Amino acid sequence: MDRTASGFLNGFLGMLIFSGSLPATRLAVADIDPLFLTVARATIAGLIGLALLLLMRSKRPGGRDLVSLVVIALGVVVGFPLLTALALKHVTSAHSMVFIGLLPLSTAIFAVLRGGERPKPAFWLFSILGSLLVAGFAIAQGVTASPLGDGLMFAAIIVCGLGYAEGAALSRRLGGWQVICWALAVSLPVMLIATVALMPAHPGLIGAPALAGLAYVSLFSMLIGFIFWYRGLSQGGIASVGQLQLLQPFFGLVLAALLLHEPVTAGMFAVTAGVILCVAAARKFAK
């Protein structure tokens, strides 16, 4: 398998794992405060990531990498989880999918600004078209809007796109799994202290669904998904592989239907076919 194909395979696996993040977060915030959820998931993943680094005796990042690691931590370890958790107190996971449809475009923009990539003009056409298809489909479902929830989700998409692009660029030097593990390790001291300080007075009252949501976002969304995702972005190109995120809302909607009993319509599959065509076309013109 060549490097580009491997990049798309790894990226697809990462995207598939991330598809469960918003439904799982929605389950978790039913019983867990969004701020505690953010620091707890980062602490759990950070402890596992640090153990992996020590076990594998990974080389420490250089001084020039520390700034990038802080940017990644602020974007995907703290920023996106916190902002989406706060947003999902005001909007449904189905509504949040409107904004996930904009994430590939955000990632592509930061791929140019931070990753040095220069996609062809046709790439932007298909990227915007794919984003409009996803956003238009989600809006057509008739979901109820919340100005505060929408603002939080929009901010989440910006910081996440930056964290994705920064992490992918750094993965070319450190490796995909090392980048997310080091980003988690850098933020671990603060997250651990915050977790202890924000611990619920009665943790035994947290229900099993919320605990399952916490477990998923800690292990899969915060760690395992990034191992595949950063490797895929670094192999296949940030802007190109990033377009796979256009498929994430549809997998997320299926999970929302199964876990949260939110409706999924037949029109989803027609739009998915259009999105797949946009992903394929964007990939062709990414370089």
Distance of CA 64 to the CA centre of its chain: 25
Structural domain harbouring 68? 3-284
DSSP labels, 185-198? HHHHHHHHHHHHHT
Q: What is the pTM of this model?
A: 0.82
Above pLDDT 70, what percent of the chain?
A: 87
Summarised one tens digit per residue, pLDDT across range 73-83 is 999 999 998 89
232-263 burial, b at 16+ Cβ within 10 Å, e below that, comes to bbbbbbbbbbbbbbbbbbbbbbbbbbebbebe
164 touches 237 (CB < 8 A): no
Summarised one tens digit per residue, pLDDT across range 111-161 is 888 777 787 888 788 778 877 776 776 667 555 567 788 788 889 999 999
Q: How many structural domains compose the chain?
A: 1
Helices (DSSP H) in the chain: which residue ranges?
Answer: 3-18, 21-28, 34-55, 63-72, 80-87, 93-100, 103-113, 121-140, 147-174, 176-197, 208-216, 225-236, 238-242, 248-260, 267-284
pLDDT for res 105: 82
- Please provide the distance, in angstroms rounded to a whole number, between the alpha carbons at the two ends of the chain: 19
Closest CA to 7 of 272, 208, 237: 237
What is the band of 101 on the pLDDT scale with cuts at 50, 70, 90? Answer: confident
Neighbours of 15 (CB within 10 A): 23
DSSP labels, 26-37? HHHTTTS-HHHH
